[in-house]
Homo-oligomer: A and B are copies of this chain.
Amino acid sequence: MDIKAVLHVLGALLVSIGASLLIPIGVCLIYNDGGLHAFIISFLIIVTVGLLLWLKTPADREVQVREGFAIVTFGWIALAGFGALPFVLASSGISYTDAFFETMSGFTTTGATILSDVEALPHGLLFWRSFTHWLGGMGIILLSLAILPMLGVGGMQLFKAEVPGPSVDKLKPRIQTTAKILWGVYLFFSVAETVLLRLGGMNLFDALCHTFGTMATGGFSTKNAGISHFDSAYIEYVISIFMVLAGANFALHYRALRGQLSSYHRNAEFRFYVGIIVAVTLFLTFSLRSSHFDSYSQSLQKSVFHVVSLMTTTGFHSADYEMWSISAQFLLIMLMFVGGCAGSTGGGIKVVRIFIAIKYSATQLKKLVHPHAVIPLRLGQTSVAREAASGVMDFLLIYFFIFAAGSFAMTLFGLDLVTSVSTVISTLGNIGPGIGTIGPTENFAHIPAAGKWLLSLLMLVGRLEIFTVLVIFSRHFWIK
């Protein structure tokens, strides 16, 4: 393990994140409602630490796979650890534990919050909170389409070929090219959503913050009542559409924007993703119509919004779905497990893994009846290598182990059964709200401090596709 090379990159990361504080500093200057001083101190600390790390370590060392894992994992921890500073320094009564939880929730695009009254925060802090989503989303797109496929994590090698850019073996040039392309798409959609939300009557500040929450599938809102604050079907549908886009593979968007609109249709994962959204939305629309809503149009609006919000792991809410039928809630919980597409900013298990798992099970059933038949496993037009399929199975297995172990740990904090399980689904899947005492109208403030640290870790583990973090705990990782 070349620790100095890792620290060098982390230093550069901190300098960039420190520099990004200049934007909330600008927001503080505009609104002048507090927090300026906290941001300036944070800026100085973060940039200083970053520069020291960067300058005191040798530059231009070639980074290997092992260092790649370390940079990603410790990078996210450093982001949350230092990004929490403005919350603590703004003397808003937020403890470091809570600030770390909130910032980890931001950078992992989870959207779980410890704040019961977000509207009381100064605009600068509110902006920073949503901005961590947007920055985290940029990191995730890069991670899932450029870095993890090369590290061969959890079946992600499937997407090696999906990524645009030159096929060079060295990590750096490839990542840089890919980053520029994908971030272009991300920026394009972000501008489009902001404009559309402005047209719906949101002010620029709210439009920006909600765009950050949407495109990163994060879910932090600037309003206590979430999206229902705006009471606008137009706004809910705009956000729904952009959540669907954010939960889809950005490599597809890139191709579509270059004119190959058929990319969407030809992609098996995307078809399955849309299929699930449509099927569950229809079920909810019809089953909730008579019991919960006055009209089909209202039932459709609320159903599509929450199906998309929870499946893409965004976590925005515009209704209290805990009041809906048990079967509706159960389906929403299942969607939380599924999550977004690979190469999106969405969390969860990922649509493609569920798709492959289902296909795989089907082929195994066929094999029982025809033991000697060779039944290929296909994902659309391409056949899936045995290696990738078994990578998917490992991922599912370890996901459920962590889910079970995490849920058990949460029961030790005196939470009820549903909440214990739900906090883990919600953080491991990077969703935000759940059910039980962390429903859409509640928050995570009442979880004991140790529980908040554990949930922060689960957000990280879920966000980095599990293996990236787990290998760090492996003895083999540290032995050269």
Residues of A at the B interface (CB closer than 8 Å) are 65-66, 151-153, 325-327, 329-331, 334, 357-358, 360-361, 364-366, 368-371, 390-391, 393-394, 396-398, 400-401, 404, 407-408, 411-412, 414-418, 420, 435, 467, 470-471, 474, 476-477
Known: A65-B371, A66-B369, A327-B408. 5 other contacts (CB 8 A): A326-B415, A327-B412, A366-B476, A369-B474, A418-B418
Copies in the complex: 2
Distance from A477 Cβ to chain B, minimum over Cβ atoms (Å): 5
Interface of A is mostly: helix
Within the complex, which residue of B151, B411, B416, B474 is in contact with A366, where a contact is CB–CB below 8 Å?
B474
Which B residues are in CB contact (< 8 Å) with A435? 417
Q: How far is the CA of A316 from the CA of B360 in the complex (A)?
A: 37
Which B residues are in CB contact (< 8 Å) with A398? 361, 364
Within the complex, which residue of B65, B325, B396, B417 is in contact with A397, where a contact is CB–CB below 8 Å?
B396
Q: Are B326 and A361 in contact (CB under 8 A)?
A: no
Minimum CB distance partner of A414 in chain B = B326
Minimum CB distance partner of A66 in chain B = B369
8 contacts between A and B (CB under 8 A): A66-B369, A151-B368, A330-B408, A334-B404, A334-B408, A390-B390, A393-B397, A418-B418
Within the complex, which residue of B330, B368, B369, B393 is in contact with A417, where a contact is CB–CB below 8 Å?
B330
Q: How far is the CA of A416 from the CA of B416 in the complex (A)?
A: 15
With contact pairs A330-B417, A411-B326, A420-B330 given, residues A401 and B361 touching in the complex (Cβ less than 8 Å): yes
The CB with the most chain B CB atoms within 10 A, among A325, A391, A408, is that of A408
Q: How far is the CA of A471 from the CA of B369 in the complex (A)?
A: 7
Q: Are B153 and A368 in contact (CB under 8 A)?
A: yes
Within the complex, which residue of B152, B331, B371, B408 is in contact with A152, where a contact is CB–CB below 8 Å?
B371
With contact pairs A369-B476, A417-B330 given, residues A394 and B364 touching in the complex (Cβ less than 8 Å): yes
Distance from A386 Cβ to chain B, minimum over Cβ atoms (Å): 9
Which B residues are in CB contact (< 8 Å) with A65? 371
Minimum CB distance partner of A436 in chain B = B417
With contact pairs A330-B407, A366-B474 given, residues A361 and B418 touching in the complex (Cβ less than 8 Å): no
Q: How far is the CA of A446 from the CA of B52 in the complex (A)?
A: 68
Q: How far is the CA of A326 from the CA of B414 in the complex (A)?
A: 7
With contact pairs A361-B398, A393-B393 given, residues A477 and B369 touching in the complex (Cβ less than 8 Å): yes
Minimum CB distance partner of A330 in chain B = B411
Which B residues are in CB contact (< 8 Å) with A330? 407-408, 411, 417, 420
Q: How far is the CA of A401 from the CA of B338 in the complex (A)?
A: 12
Q: Closest 10 CB pairs between A and B? A: A327-B411, A364-B394, A369-B476, A326-B411, A330-B411, A393-B393, A327-B412, A361-B398, A369-B477, A368-B471
Q: How far is the CA of A467 from the CA of B365 in the complex (A)?
A: 7
Minimum CB distance partner of A412 in chain B = B327
